[in-house]
């Protein structure tokens, strides 16, 4: 009886960076068809496992969109800080996640000893078998993972510009809790003033000129999420701050009513409240360094290095 050879199964991966496909084709002994690399699992025996894993996990190739194998786990303090934009992005995409709050120096040192904190910094996100650090790298990975491919470079550039435009404002607000008590009122007035004179007029004009429901194209993107987050943070400092910005006010209402966002804004969600004294003390206890000096350096570096963010597809992107 003639035995038929069973076909060797293949895996299909879609590239986040089409320009890298020729290189990946050679490395993985695969074939490229319509910007998708067809991998023969048997070929992975020909390459060191470590190299294979590096190329998989660094985002050069991503599995076809689907449900995550396990819930992402977020390691941070019980507060907003640098983790809050990551929580927002996951929530907007309808991805459930778990959290472990850092409250002792010992737990922080254990994460360092285990090699999970690449530069000794949090946030840390455990996802897809990886331990990811550096906020912009995490956001870039998640945005690419949850968003559709094929967006034009022009649209991607617009998303980057708009998201980056709110970054300094958000960092100023985040740092206010760490200022000496006598400086807080002055700092709040400064933040609200800059929001009203520098940032919000720009976005009011963008919405007017664009004439769509969202900032870029007519799709919900990370730029929309970050702008909404910034607006809500400023409103916590001054409830009437949007009184002179009707389009921005309508934008806030519209984006807030997207089902996944609406759920995240409800009481009992994993969204964190404004930082209080307990949060500040926890950060100082765990990290044991001068927050003000470190944060001033962070504002400069973060404002320059915000990486590419792609369009996000929540469970339902149309407002109610």
What was the pLDDT predicted at 228? 95
What does the alpha-carbon distance between residue 25 and residue 185 come to, in Å, rounded to a whole number? 58
Indicate the domain borders of the chain: 11-59, 73-144, 152-304
What was the pLDDT predicted at 222? 83
Q: 111-155, pLDDT tens digit by residue?
A: 988 888 877 788 999 988 888 888 877 887 887 776 544 356 667
**CA trace torsion 38, 70, 273, 282 (10° rounding):** -110
Strand, helix or coil for residue 113: helix
73-144 against 152-304: fold identical = no
Residue bearing tokens 């919405």: 207
**Do 220 and 312 meet the contact criterion of CB atoms below 8 Å apart?**
yes
What was the pLDDT predicted at 289? 59
**Do 56 and 11 meet the contact criterion of CB atoms below 8 Å apart?**
no
Written as tens digits, the pLDDT of the chain (320 aa) is 444 444 434 444 444 444 444 444 444 444 444 444 444 444 333 333 333 333 333 332 233 334 445 789 999 999 888 888 889 888 888 889 999 999 889 999 899 888 888 777 889 999 888 888 888 778 878 877 765 443 566 677 677 778 877 877 888 888 888 888 878 788 888 899 999 998 999 899 999 999 999 998 888 888 899 899 999 999 999 999 999 999 999 999 999 999 999 999 999 999 999 988 888 888 888 888 554 444 444 444 444 444 444 455 554 444 44
Handedness of CA 146, 152, 158, 161 (dihedral sign): positive
Fold of 73-144: Glutaredoxin (3.40.30)
Residue bearing tokens 């009992």: 268
What was the pLDDT predicted at 139? 80
Nearest to 120, CA basis, from 129, 131, 132, 112: 112
Fold of 152-304: Glutathione S-transferase Yfyf (Class Pi); Chain A, domain 2 (1.20.1050)
């Amino acid at each position: 009886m003639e035995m038929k050879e069973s076909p060797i199964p293949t895996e299909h991966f879609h590239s986040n960076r089409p320009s890298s496909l020729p290189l990946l084709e050679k490395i993985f002994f695969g074939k490229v068809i319509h910007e998708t690399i067809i991998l023969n699992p048997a070929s992975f025996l020909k390459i060191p496992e470590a190299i294979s894993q590096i190329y998989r996990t660094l985002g050069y190739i991503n599995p076809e969109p689907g449900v995550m194998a396990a819930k992402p786990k977020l390691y941070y303090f019980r507060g907003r800080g640098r983790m809050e934009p990551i929580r927002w992005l996951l929530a907007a995409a309808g991805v459930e996640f778990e959290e472990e709050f850092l409250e002792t120096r010992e737990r922080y040192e254990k994460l360092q000893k285990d090699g999970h904190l690449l530069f000794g910094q949090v946030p840390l996100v455990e996802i897809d078998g990886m331990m990811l650090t550096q906020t912009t790298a995490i956001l870039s990975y998640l945005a690419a993972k949850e968003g559709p491919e094929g967006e034009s470079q022009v649209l991607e550039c617009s998303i980057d510009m708009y998201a980056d435009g709110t970054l300094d404002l958000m960092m100023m607000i985040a740092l206010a809790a760490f200022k000496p008590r006598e400086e807080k009122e002055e700092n709040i007035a400064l933040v609200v003033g800059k929001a009203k004179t520098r940032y919000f007029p720009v976005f009011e004009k963008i919405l007017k000129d664009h004439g769509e429901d969202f900032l870029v194209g007519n799709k919900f993107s990370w730029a929309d999420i970050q702008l909404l987050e910034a607006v809500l943070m400023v409103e916590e400092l001054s409830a009437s701050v949007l009184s002179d910005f009707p389009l921005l006010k309508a934008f806030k209402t519209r984006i807030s009513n997207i089902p996944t966002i609406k759920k995240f804004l409800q009481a009992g969600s994993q969204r964190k409240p404004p930082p209080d004294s307990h949060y500040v003390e926890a950060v100082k206890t765990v990290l044991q360094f001068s927050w003000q000096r470190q944060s001033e350096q962070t504002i400069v570096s973060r404002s320059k290095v915000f990486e590419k963010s792609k369009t996000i597809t929540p469970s339902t992107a149309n407002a109610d």
